[in-house]
């Protein structure tokens, strides 16, 4: 049940290619995006291509004045600030990183707005939950009379065969309150993925950082650190009896010829050198790894690749490679697996962007992968939006 009926005015900060806007459309709330704000011209081109009537502010957010903010008269803020200051692999500059400045600027303005938004959603990487910036966000929200809930949630938790564990915060201003729970498509409570209690002291913050570091590369491990909330007893299993916990990736794939075209081919030299560290999946796989913005550019840890040969087991191939030294023969063996990159359309599908999402012709493949790597899973956000408005 969605409580609001009147059209709400949404400002989409750090709008990129519009992942949040797609989520808003999917969740069915009566809303209009009155402004999309992003400094990146390429992202804005893609955004405008898919949302021709939305007004884009091609600006550094820090250049937007309080007066301009007031004029937007927003009911909802949707924000996915730059995540590099919070990734474990980065330098973790946190609130000292220049890329965090615009977010701190928004937090500062929030407190000064005559009319503050009644609802706020923030998305970031796992790691944000242990940052000073997050503490600052929570303090600002409390001062401005918001209640909030935080989650670590991946599309994989919702039965989508893609891992993309992300931090989410949803907030509502008094007198709005959160409903006691929300049941997900997999029959689990959304609260299973909640982040319990805020870190209040520095020691506690440090401890949370260590826990987070240990869990960094494994979503399964990360889940263990998320509070377990019992399922809602009154909602019977029966309702979800037909639910398939994990869909295979087949339904997300484009119909491409079996012979891998030059466009999506992985160079033999690359396969020989990096093949064993690649995350190779088949259409029957129930999981792909997180696709980052370096996909297609770097190999290791940037996203899965697809084995087109359905009859050969990769373990067999790995075994035969053991006994071969020369690259020519190794190359021939790799060829048999018929491995290719996922297309950008397939990654968009895994992000649950709608079927009619597209890139303008002039956007290169490398740019497409970069933008998708920065974007988000719209279905996950739509579930959170529905929860926020219920
Ligand atoms: N949610 C978006 C992606 C967010 S990635 C999507 O679905 O595509 C973060 C975005 O913030 C990037 O597109 C980047 O260009 C933008 N950005 C970073 N700093 C900014 C600033 N100071 N002002 C405006 N945009 C900024």
The 10s digit of each residue's pLDDT in 346-355 is 999 999 999 9
**Which of the following is catalytic: 27, 83, 144, 290?**
83
Buried b (16+ CB within 10 A) or exposed e, 345-356: bbbbbbbbbeee
Q: 51 CB less than 6 Å from ligand 1?
A: no
pLDDT band at 245 (very low <50, low <70, confident <90, very high): low
| Nearest-angstrom CA–CA distance, 64 and 386 | 29
Per-residue pLDDT, averaged over 183-190, amounts to: 84
Q: 198 CB less than 6 Å from ligand 1?
A: no
* Helices 41-50 and 365-374: angle between axes, nearest 10 degrees: 80
pLDDT of res. 201: 43
Whether the per-residue pLDDT at 268 is higher than 80: the answer is yes
Ligand 1 pocket test, pick from 11, 12, 14 with the greatest ligand atom count within 8 Å of Cβ, gives 14
pLDDT of res. 378: 97
pLDDT band at 222 (very low <50, low <70, confident <90, very high): very low
Q: 100 CB less than 6 Å from ligand 1?
A: no
SS3 169: strand
* Helices 19-27 and 378-388: angle between axes, nearest 10 degrees: 50
Cβ(339)–Cβ(258) below 8 Å? no
The 10s digit of each residue's pLDDT in 31-86 is 999 999 999 999 999 999 999 999 999 999 999 999 999 999 999 999 999 988 88
pLDDT of res. 237: 35
pLDDT of res. 333: 86
Query: Is 182 noted as a catalytic residue in this protein?
Result: no
Beta bridge partners, 32, equal 9
Measured in angstroms, how far is the CA atom of residue 218 from the centroid of ligand 1?
Answer: 26
Q: 142 CB less than 6 Å from ligand 1?
A: no
Neighbours of 226 (CB within 10 A): 20
Beta bridge partners, 31, equal 8
Q: Are strands 166-173 and 146-153 parallel, antiparallel or unpaired?
A: antiparallel
Question: pTM for the complete prediction?
Answer: 0.88
The 10s digit of each residue's pLDDT in 136-181 is 999 999 999 999 999 999 999 999 999 999 999 999 999 999 987 8
């Amino acid at each position: 049940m969605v409580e609001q009926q009147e059209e709400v005015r949404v400002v989409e900060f750090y709008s990129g290619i519009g992942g949040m806007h797609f989520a808003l459309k999917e969740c069915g709330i009566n809303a209009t995006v009155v402004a999309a704000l992003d400094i990146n011209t390429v992202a804005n081109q893609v955004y405008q291509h898919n949302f021709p009537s939305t007004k884009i502010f091609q600006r550094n957010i820090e250049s937007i004045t309080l007066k301009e903010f007031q004029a937007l008269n927003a009911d909802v803020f949707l924000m996915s600030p730059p995540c590099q200051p919070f990734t474990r692999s980065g330098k973790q500059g946190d609130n000292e990183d220049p890329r965090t400045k615009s977010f701190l600027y928004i937090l500062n303005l929030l407190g000064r707005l005559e009319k503050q938004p009644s609802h706020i959603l923030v998305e970031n990487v796992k790691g944000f939950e242990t940052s000073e910036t997050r503490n600052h966000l929570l303090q600002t929200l409390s001062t401005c009379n918001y209640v909030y809930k935080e989650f670590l949630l991946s599309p994989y938790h919702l039965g989508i065969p893609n891992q993309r564990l992300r931090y989410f915060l949803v907030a509502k201003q008094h007198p709005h309150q959160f409903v006691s729970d929300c049941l997900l498509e997999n029959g689990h409570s959304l609260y299973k993925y909640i982040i319990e209690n805020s870190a209040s002291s520095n020691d506690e913050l440090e401890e949370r950082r260590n826990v987070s570091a240990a869990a960094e590369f494994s979503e399964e491990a990360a889940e263990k650190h998320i509070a377990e909330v019992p399922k809602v007893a009154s909602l019977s299993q029966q309702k979800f009896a037909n639910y398939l916990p994990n869909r295979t990736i087949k339904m997300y794939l484009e119909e491409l010829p079996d012979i891998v075209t030059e466009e999506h081919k992985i160079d033999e030299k690359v396969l020989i050198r990096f093949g064993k560290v690649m995350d190779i999946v088949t259409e029957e796989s129930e999981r792909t790894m997180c696709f980052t913005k370096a996909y297609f550019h770097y190999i290791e840890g940037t996203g899965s690749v697809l084995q087109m040969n359905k009859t050969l087991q990769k373990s067999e191939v790995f075994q035969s490679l053991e006994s071969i030294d020369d690259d020519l023969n190794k190359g021939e063996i790799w060829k048999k697996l018929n491995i290719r990159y996922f297309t950008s359309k397939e990654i968009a599908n895994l992000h649950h962007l709608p079927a009619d999402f597209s890139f303008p012709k002039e956007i290169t493949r490398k740019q497409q992968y970069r933008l998708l790597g920065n974007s988000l899973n719209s279905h996950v956000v739509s579930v959170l939006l529905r929860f926020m408005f219920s």
